[in-house]
Structure 1
């Protein structure tokens, strides 16, 4: 399986596309202003204790208070509260936990009012980003994730990924971590640690300890409801969790992000540094690699499959429903069962991709085409589990019910990726009528007068349909040249094949669209 990462950087953030064998399987949007990312640690202030919910509402600076349930406090929350109070009070000077006396673990069946009080300060970690009308979901069971291991304070436990099957390898990894981990810190050994040596594991652990020391250093001066320690950006998170020899290319269209990604890849996997490449083509990076087209085809209510079948995806507040339809696919009546099985397998593969691509969470109900043979139903269930094995989100799949429905629960920690693929006609704005095309250049020039004269913009770009670009640039003394003499500055003209014939936009010198 060949994996590629395409990073489209813009002034407002970056869009990250993960391709497997040239097919888009994950899409992430990272906003520069995106606080409250999963893994960020804040100094929360308890606003309200809710005994009925056995939970607390916590102020972390978001417009709505965040939610902290008793079960998310973690067994060593009393140690965390004690350390936080001592560090902020100045009575605990060490940055590690060598001299720290751990408190007793809390009772799993206890009450939150026994642990927390109103206006109390507590370090909390974002477990789920704000979704819909809900604020962030929090945990005070802190952890700091690295490439090979995860550091867990106030613990001595060493856990190993269940995906590492070899007992010899599990024993080897455990002995390595036991010899290098600091006191009062637990460690979770990740799947990618398999086969790694002492040097790589130790360096990863040193980096995580350095982050913990930063947390301790910033804790005394951090104001309530402010961030103490931020998770690395989404691009680096994806690389940290996914990067392996299967990756062939990482393309970036921004020089500063290119250097950041190359440096990060060099740190975590020096032998893969050469796969990071700068996009130097004139056309936009997503258009060049066919991602824009895949996005338009993959999002929306109806998703077409290669064999003529299609999926209908409906979203409700409580769950997602996916209906599998055979479409215009024809088959012998005698061979109906085989045909249904083939369509269902094709649909199962696409559904597993859609769940990752849209990051759909909660309950997902799939209505497959009815099959009568128990063996076919079992084979379909096993095939769906195989395809879902590539999904990093925690999920549970139930066998088909007697009605042919398959139910999936999938962990959701971020808002669902939702891209509107239907477009309001930019030419008529949905009215069904357009301005006379003969007035198009007059409209453009009227906007020039406003942008260049009144707003005093410099180095603007006019983006139009390719036909209009050709018309503007036709001849030696063309429209572009006339504009140069009229406005005393050169106006760059570019084209975009996705534009309607009379659609046009103006871009500033920074590449941002000028709103009119």
Structure 2
């Protein structure tokens, strides 16, 4: 499997990251320029309200709505965290690690939050789920700092290993290495990518995480309530940290500053892969060049077409997502109806697994597959769906098909669902279904062009338009562009952008700066 990462950075839209597998888009991540309240960020929260009925608290972390902290998310060592916060704030604890800190007893799993927290208490909390819809962030005070190979867990002494590492000898080897290098009062989770790694790599990663904890301790002393104390890495680095393997062949970045950051980070975590990081320098938008924009437009929306004529209908509600599988115009004889249903369902299962990752759909997902009468076929479909979702990094559970042919999936939701509008009110016609004629549009373009060339005396003009309009301007022996050349004595470059709506156009100067009109 060939993997590529395409990173598009723009000042107005932030950073958009597309993960391709064998040229097919499987994940799309967006990071806004103001990346507050991202999963993994640690804030100094102030308890605003205790809710005994919910056994939870609402915490002020600077978001417009108070964040939610449940008792079960406090972590067993929350008393030790509260103790550390108090003595660090008082200035009576000078160490950066936890060597001399006496840990408190674990809290009762069935206890009450009112016995642990009170109003206005300061507590470091970590974003477990980003703000979604009308809800504020979901918090945890069971802090952890993730690295490439290991995760550092303060106020613990346990070393745990990813279940995906199967070999007993390898599990024992990794556990011995980590136990010999971890500091006191810190636990460690060994991640899947640690398999086969040596002492030097694991120790370097662990030392990086320890330095982050020391930075957290330093900042905690002077941190103001509701302010961020320690931030998670940007989305590009986080994705690289979690998924970068030898299967990656290219990482393309269109922004120079971000390219330098990504290249430096890849060099740090996996020097052998540094050469695959490339800066994209073409004038065509990076997503258009690699065919990502086309896949985005085809993959989002209510209806998703499959090969062979079948299609999916995806509906979203507040409580759950519903996917309906339709055979469409796919035709089969009566004798092969069962076989045809299995083929369509398996094709749909593969696309649904991709859609869940692509849209980052979380919560409850109900899939209405085409009815199949043979138990063996239902079992085969269930196994195939689990196989298709094996590479999904989000925690998920798949239930076998019910007697009505419905498959239920629960999938971890930590961020707002990726929503790309593919059908919207037309900005050109305002929803009327009618737009200005192409002649009037070209009059507008030419009037602006005349002003730019004759009044502003600009040179090296590039006109960007929708591909249909671009073809109209450039086609023919005596095309519109040729006529402009004879009229103004200057050659106009025409650049087409597929993401433009039909009547949209922009002018750029020789420095590739947009000319505002």
Q: TM-score range by the shorter chain?
A: over 0.9
Q: Would the alpha carbon gap of residues 120 and 374 (structure 1) be closer, same or farther in structure 2, given more than 3 Å must change?
A: same
* Structure 1 residues 56-95: aligned runs within 5 Å: 56-95=57-96
Unaligned runs of 5+ in 1: 485-490
Please name the residue that 1:474 is paired with: 482
TM-score normalised by length of structure 2: 0.93
Following superposition, the deviation at residue 495 of structure 1 comes to: 2.9
Q: Distance in 2 between matches of 1:101 and 1:479?
A: 84
CA contact (8 A) 1:77 1:140 kept: yes
CA contact (8 A) 2:293 2:499 kept: no
Following superposition, the deviation at residue 506 of structure 1 comes to: 5.2
Q: Distance in 2 between matches of 1:121 and 1:454?
A: 62
Please name the residue that 1:170 is paired with: 171
Please name the residue that 1:132 is paired with: 133
Please name the residue that 2:374 is paired with: 373
Tell me the secondary structure at the aligned position of residue 29 of structure 2. strand
Alpha-carbon RMSD: 2.6
Following superposition, the deviation at residue 2 of structure 1 comes to: 0.8
TM-score normalised by length of structure 1: 0.93
Please name the residue that 1:435 is paired with: 436
- The superposition leaves residues 220-263 of structure 1 with CA deviations (integer Å, 9 ceiling, x where unpaired) of 11111010000000011111010111111111111111111111
Q: Distance in 2 between matches of 1:508 and 1:229?
A: 42
Please name the residue that 1:148 is paired with: 149
Tell me the secondary structure at the aligned position of residue 307 of structure 1. helix
Q: Which moved further from structure 2: 463-472 or 44-53?
A: 463-472
* Structure 1 residues 239-318: aligned runs within 5 Å: 239-318=240-319
Q: Would the alpha carbon gap of residues 64 and 86 (structure 1) be closer, same or farther in structure 2, given more than 3 Å must change?
A: same
Following superposition, the deviation at residue 34 of structure 1 comes to: 1.8
- The superposition leaves residues 272-322 of structure 1 with CA deviations (integer Å, 9 ceiling, x where unpaired) of 111111213231111111111111111011111112111110111100000
Following superposition, the deviation at residue 385 of structure 1 comes to: 0.6
CA contact (8 A) 1:473 1:480 kept: no
- Counterpart check, 1:117 vs 2:118: yes
Following superposition, the deviation at residue 425 of structure 1 comes to: 3.5
CA contact (8 A) 1:381 1:400 kept: yes
Q: Would the alpha carbon gap of residues 11 and 499 (structure 1) be closer, same or farther in structure 2, given more than 3 Å must change?
A: closer
- The superposition leaves residues 161-218 of structure 1 with CA deviations (integer Å, 9 ceiling, x where unpaired) of 0111100000000000011000000000000000000000000000000100110111
CA contact (8 A) 1:426 1:503 kept: no
Q: In the comparison of the two structures, how many residue pairs are matched? A: 509
Following superposition, the deviation at residue 438 of structure 1 comes to: 3.4
Please name the residue that 2:23 is paired with: 22
* Structure 1 residues 226-237: aligned runs within 5 Å: 226-237=227-238
Please name the residue that 2:37 is paired with: 36
Following superposition, the deviation at residue 494 of structure 1 comes to: 3.4
CA contact (8 A) 1:472 1:478 kept: no
Please name the residue that 2:396 is paired with: 395
Q: Distance in 1 between matches of 2:446 and 2:142?
A: 60
* Structure 1 residues 408-427: aligned runs within 5 Å: 408-427=409-428
CA contact (8 A) 1:309 1:328 kept: yes
Following superposition, the deviation at residue 463 of structure 1 comes to: 2.3
Q: Would the alpha carbon gap of residues 396 and 444 (structure 1) be closer, same or farther in structure 2, given more than 3 Å must change?
A: same
- Counterpart check, 1:344 vs 2:345: yes
- Counterpart check, 1:10 vs 2:18: no
Q: Distance in 2 between matches of 1:449 and 1:132?
A: 47
Q: Distance in 2 between matches of 1:480 and 1:209?
A: 66
Q: Would the alpha carbon gap of residues 454 and 209 (structure 1) be closer, same or farther in structure 2, given more than 3 Å must change?
A: farther
Tell me the secondary structure at the aligned position of residue 474 of structure 1. helix
CA contact (8 A) 1:156 1:184 kept: yes
Following superposition, the deviation at residue 437 of structure 1 comes to: 3.5
Q: Distance in 1 between matches of 2:369 and 2:224?
A: 53
Q: Distance in 1 between matches of 2:511 and 2:417?
A: 30
CA contact (8 A) 1:472 1:479 kept: no
Tell me the secondary structure at the aligned position of residue 358 of structure 2. helix
Q: Distance in 2 between matches of 1:512 and 1:58?
A: 45
Unaligned runs of 5+ in 2: none
Tell me the secondary structure at the aligned position of residue 335 of structure 2. coil
